């Protein structure tokens, strides 16, 4: 019995899909203890956009540690926090005309969502939240209340309240979702109180790579403006450049009232989370929301380096180029294999949806086959039936193609071998 089976709680999960022990990793390659090498399309669930142990960032972090730079400082002022803030302002906020305050939350995405929930309620004096079916926002009680998955919701052990789930426009094209939300807000007999905020993911990653259209995002911004409701974009998984632009909502041309950021913000897989909020909503009293690890200094060092790296390596351009490559590959080489396959994607997050394919657990079989052939790739969505292609933004073209080819081979085996 391994130490994991002996000691680790049953709650562990990914290790069941990828049952080897990892040791070393470099950019888009992971190395297992048994010497095998894997291409990484899993990407730390979105936390490793710059690749594993990116040398540019690594160097800065090691220097910082070697210099006995303070490692943990809650919300004290520190040189590296100041430098991160300055860099974030100069490279991200200013060029985009974003006038946000930055809140350092406990260093996890869910903490940032919890802060956004509190502030939404405080700013508006209302309690309700609108979220979309398919949403994933986190596992602590507040975030969980606006997460749509029934299994994690049941885990709460108490009724989760204060949220109204709105049918996602993707699954209900026959319904004018914007008009429906406005009806809920304004119809005196809707049963649903006007909410404090609408929370969205522009691309639902865990939900199965479900993409909101730019038009929908703009119409929602207008609705929120009309009704005095806050718009919160949870950019934890698809912010930091995943969709091309640094912020996933940029392309739609709107400015949310709040933005949650985490996962790849530190650039090195280190725990860190931010909440961006409009200055007029910055009505927190000091310490009203806090957390011991909100001052993870190594993460600040990494985050600053990552933003510089992003500029220097023109990651936005690269992402759009890679997007085209993936789209072409999937469309031309994967989709023709089965007419029931569906495909959605944006930037460097793409989903091949096996939900209507007539082979049981097809996506699971493909995933397993990929792993056997050296590709670590996650699944998402209803029934875990969406193969999620989400490599690091720094992936080399040949690695990207190699990974896609592994998928192609696996799909051939699973889909064609069964025909």
Q: Residues 303 to 362: which contact its own copies by CB under 8 A?
A: none
Closest to 257 measured CA to CA, from 236, 275, 271: 275
**What is the pairing mode between strands 349-353 and 342-346?**
antiparallel
**What is the pairing mode between strands 386-389 and 258-261?**
unpaired
Q: Which of 147, 202, 319, 394 binds its own copies (CB under 8 A)?
A: 147
Q: Residue 158 Cβ, how far from its own copies at the closest point, in Å?
A: 5
- Piece in contact with its own copies (CB under 8 A), picked from 162-170, 248-256, 318-326, 408-416: 162-170
> Does 89 participate in binding its own copies (rule CB under 8 A)?
yes
- Piece in contact with its own copies (CB under 8 A), picked from 219-227, 275-283, 317-325, 405-413: 275-283
Task: Give Dmax (Cα) for the chain.
Answer: 65
Closer CB to its own copies, 121 or 310, in the complex: 121
Closer CB to its own copies, 127 or 251, in the complex: 127
Q: Which of 56, 91, 96, 156 binds its own copies (CB under 8 A)?
A: 156
- Piece in contact with its own copies (CB under 8 A), picked from 68-76, 213-221, 227-235, 341-349: 68-76
Entry field: residues in the chain: 419
Separation of alpha carbons 111 and 275, rounded Å? 9
Closer CB to its own copies, 251 or 355, in the complex: 355
By CB under 8 A, what part of segment 279-308 binds its own copies? 282-293, 296, 298
Q: What's the token pair of residue 259?
A: 């933005």
Let me know: does 386 contact 209? Beta carbons within 8 Å: yes
> Does 372 participate in binding its own copies (rule CB under 8 A)?
no
DSSP string covering 56-67: HHHHHHHHHHHT
Residue 321, C-beta contacts closer than 8 angstroms, at least 6 positions apart:
none
Let me know: does 274 contact 260? Beta carbons within 8 Å: yes
By CB under 8 A, what part of segment 375-404 binds its own copies? 381-383
Q: Which of 39, 92, 181, 196 binds its own copies (CB under 8 A)?
A: 196
Q: Residue 42 Cβ, how far from its own copies at the closest point, in Å?
A: 9
Q: What's the token pair of residue 367?
A: 């995933």
> Does 162 participate in binding its own copies (rule CB under 8 A)?
yes
Let me know: does 79 contact 60? Beta carbons within 8 Å: no
Separation of alpha carbons 151 and 169, rounded Å? 23
Q: How far is CA 372 from CA 19, 20, 43, 147, 406, in A?
A: 11, 11, 18, 32, 10
By CB under 8 A, what part of segment 127-146 binds its own copies? 127-128, 131, 133-135, 138-143, 145-146
Q: Residue 238 Cβ, how far from its own copies at the closest point, in Å?
A: 13
Q: Which of 76, 324, 372, 416 binds its own copies (CB under 8 A)?
A: 76
> Does 106 participate in binding its own copies (rule CB under 8 A)?
yes
> Does 175 participate in binding its own copies (rule CB under 8 A)?
yes
Residue 55, C-beta contacts closer than 8 angstroms, at least 6 positions apart:
none
By CB under 8 A, what part of segment 214-273 binds its own copies? 262-263, 268-271
Separation of alpha carbons 215 and 297, rounded Å? 39
Closer CB to its own copies, 82 or 228, in the complex: 82
Q: Which of 120, 243, 319, 394 binds its own copies (CB under 8 A)?
A: 120
């Amino acid at each position: 019995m391994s130490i994991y089976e002996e000691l680790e709680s049953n709650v562990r999960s990914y290790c069941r899909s990828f049952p080897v022990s990892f040791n070393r990793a470099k950019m888009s390659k992971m190395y297992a203890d048994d010497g095998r090498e894997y291409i990484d399309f899993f990407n730390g669930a979105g936390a490793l956009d710059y690749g594993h142990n990116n040398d540019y960032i690594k160097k800065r972090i090691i220097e910082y540690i070697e210099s006995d730079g303070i490692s943990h400082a809650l919300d004290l002022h520190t040189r590296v926090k100041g430098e991160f803030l300055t860099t974030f302002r100069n490279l991200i906020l200013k060029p985009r005309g974003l006038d946000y305050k930055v809140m350092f939350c406990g260093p996890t995405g869910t903490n940032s969502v919890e802060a956004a929930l509190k502030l939404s309620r405080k700013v508006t004096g209302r309690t309700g939240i609108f979220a979309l079916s398919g949403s994933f926002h986190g596992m602590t009680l507040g975030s969980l209340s606006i997460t749509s998955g029934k299994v994690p919701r049941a885990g709460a052990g108490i009724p989760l309240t204060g949220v109204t789930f709105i049918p996602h426009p993707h699954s209900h094209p026959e319904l004018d979702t914007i008009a429906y939300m406005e009806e809920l807000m304004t119809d005196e007999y809707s049963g649903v109180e006007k909410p404090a905020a609408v929370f969205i993911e522009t691309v639902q990653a865990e939900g199965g790579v479900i993409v909101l259209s730019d038009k929908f995002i703009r119409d929602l911004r207008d609705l929120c403006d009309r009704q005095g409701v806050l718009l919160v974009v949870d950019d934890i998984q698809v912010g930091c450049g995943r969709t091309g632009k640094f912020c996933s909502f940029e392309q739609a041309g709107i400015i949310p009232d709040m933005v949650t950021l985490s996962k790849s913000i530190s650039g090195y897989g280190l725990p860190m989370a931010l909440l961006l909020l409009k200055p007029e909503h910055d009505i927190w009293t000091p310490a009203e929301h806090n957390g011991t690890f909100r001052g993870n200094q190594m993460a600040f060092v990494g985050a600053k380096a990552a933003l510089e790296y992003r500029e220097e390596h023109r990651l936005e351009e690269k992402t759009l180029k890679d997007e085209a490559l993936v789209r072409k590959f999937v469309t031309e080489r994967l989709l023709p294999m089965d007419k029931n396959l569906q495909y959605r994607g944006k930037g460097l997050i793409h989903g091949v949806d096996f939900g209507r394919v007539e082979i049981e657990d097809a996506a699971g079989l493909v995933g397993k086959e990929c792993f056997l052939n050296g590709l670590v790739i996650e699944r998402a969505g209803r029934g875990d039936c969406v193969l999620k292609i989400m490599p690091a933004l720094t992936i080399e073209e040949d690695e990207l193609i190699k990974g896609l080819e592994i998928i192609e081979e696996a799909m051939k085996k699973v889909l064609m071998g069964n025909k």
